[in-house]
Amino acid sequence: KSIDDLGDLSGKRVLIRCDFNVPLDGETITDDGRIRAALPTLRKLREGNARIVIMAHLGRPKGSVNPKFSLAPVAARLSELLGTEVRLAGDVVGDSATATVEALSDGEVALLENVRYEPAEESKDEAERVGLAKKYAAFGDVFVSDGFGVVHRKQASVYDVAKLLPNAAGYLVAKEVDVLNRLVGEPERPFVVVLGGAKVADKLSVIDNLLQVADTLVIGGGMLFTFLKAQGHDIGSSLLDEDNVETCKSYLEQAAAAGKQIILPTDIRVADGADFDNRTVKGAVDVVAADAIPAGKQGLDIGPDSEMLFADAIRGAKTVFWNGPMGVFEIAELAKGTAAVAKALTEVDGLSVVGGGDSAAAVRVLGHADDEFGHISTGGGASLEFLEGKELPGIAVLEGSN
Ligand code: 3PG
């Protein structure tokens, strides 16, 4: 069900869950993509003269009030983007929230403070969550789910509250589900999946599932070294997930048996290490063959030949999904692989999808505009779980989702 099926919302209180979990440098939002992604739904509700009450989280304050995680920067940015004041409540469900919601006129917007200030929000105890969800529900006549990045969480403001009010998916959730369904449904072929990021363990189920539907898997990022190890190569002091070497080996075998390709880099940029806090490389950056990483050297990005190899595979595809940086892209010298992949995605003659979190931030930091890609998902974990074929509680709970 979409918000267009909710009927006339004029004068009604629309309680909406958004994902405004944006990266911050102090109080400065460094990528406002998730806020901008919520605008179509919010604008439509405003045009319809609804009274809008937004629930959102920021970071992981773990159930206690902490000004470091206040939604104040989000309220300010959203006010600018909507061109109207967004009133930030001083609490989540207390007196300030109640007064802020009561004071709303038609077409006005309120934002509750970080829902994760409330210990019950993320509780494993359903009764506790429902207790909080009832307080949220008292602020709305209908509920709209538009925080795609958080629909994989069974939390009070995402899941339990949906059971208490007439509900619908917002435009963002509807669009995300539509695009991701095209990937796992009948993608135009060749379908190439590019995976990066540090931890192979985080990507195992997604590799498992995508090996069934994709034609080619391209592997970069810290996780590639566990694959190189599985092929029997020395990886120096590069990141290794010892426990998953055998699993990676079985993926390589499965792919070969099914006539699919797993593309790994042929060369690697190595150094003595990386200082993440100061964003600097330790020692000089050298390019070495992927099957001959010297002892003591750490692989930190894919090399120039691999950039071309990966870009060719991407450009030749009709459908591409990319999640996870190819190297330590926060450090300029080690952002080349990620930049090459991002650029190749902009050149795809077909559907190119960037999957959430770091990759979405990376393409913007690298200077790309959102409309150079088919779709930039706002979901990190959520888009991966969708592609793993898991049921997402925040979507399954919505009316008409089955
Ligand atoms: C995200 O950043 O992926 C979402 O906002 C969910 O955040 P979480 O991983 O802290 O639940």
Q: In terms of domains, do 191 and 308 share one?
A: yes
Residue 398: inside a domain = no
Total count of domains within the chain: 2
Q: Are 300 and 270 in contact (CB under 8 A)?
A: yes
Ligand 1 pocket: which of 57, 69, 155, 384 to mutate (most atoms within 8 A of CB)? 57
Catalytic residue among 34, 51, 269, 336: 34
CA of 394 to the centre of ligand 1 (A): 13
What pLDDT does residue 402 have?
A: 63
Which tens digit of pLDDT belongs to each residue from 219-251?
A: 999 999 999 999 999 999 999 999 999 999 999
Residues in the chain: 402
Q: In terms of domains, do 161 and 225 share one?
A: no
| Predicted complex ipTM | 0.98
Which tens digit of pLDDT belongs to each residue from 313-353?
A: 999 999 999 999 999 998 999 999 999 999 999 999 999 99
Q: Is 60 in the pocket of ligand 1 (CB under 6 A)?
A: yes
User: pTM of this prediction?
Assistant: 0.91
Residue 393: inside a domain = no
CA distance linking residue 273 with residue 227, whole number of Å: 20
Q: In terms of domains, do 322 and 282 share one?
A: yes
Q: Is 394 in the pocket of ligand 1 (CB under 6 A)?
A: no
Residue 399: inside a domain = no
DSSP labels for 267-291?
Answer: EEEEESEEETTTTEEES--EEEETT
- Name residue 222's amino acid: G
Q: Are 285 and 271 in contact (CB under 8 A)?
A: yes
Burial group, residue 242, by CB count within 10 angstroms (0-12, 13-18, 19+): exposed
Residue 396: inside a domain = no
Residue 120: inside a domain = yes
Instruction: Find the domain containing 304 and state its range.
Output: 185-387
Q: In terms of domains, do 204 and 248 share one?
A: yes
Binding residues for (2R)-3-phosphoglycerate: 34, 116, 153
Q: In terms of domains, do 277 and 135 share one?
A: no
Residue 7: inside a domain = yes
Which tens digit of pLDDT belongs to each residue from 12-52?
A: 999 999 999 999 989 999 889 999 999 999 999 999 999 99
Q: In terms of domains, do 320 and 296 share one?
A: yes
Which tens digit of pLDDT belongs to each residue from 256-306?
A: 999 999 999 999 999 999 998 889 999 999 999 999 999 999 999 999 999
Q: In terms of domains, do 203 and 346 share one?
A: yes
Q: Is 229 part of the annotated catalytic residue set?
A: no
Q: In terms of domains, do 114 and 137 share one?
A: yes
CA distance linking residue 377 with residue 322, whole number of Å: 10
Helix, strand, coil in percent for the chain, rounding step 5: 40, 20, 40
CA of 142 to the centre of ligand 1 (A): 24
Cα separations (Å) of 89 from 100, 104, 162, 213? 6, 12, 21, 46
Q: In terms of domains, do 127 and 207 share one?
A: no
Residue 397: inside a domain = no
Q: 313: domain CATH number?
A: 3.40.50.1260
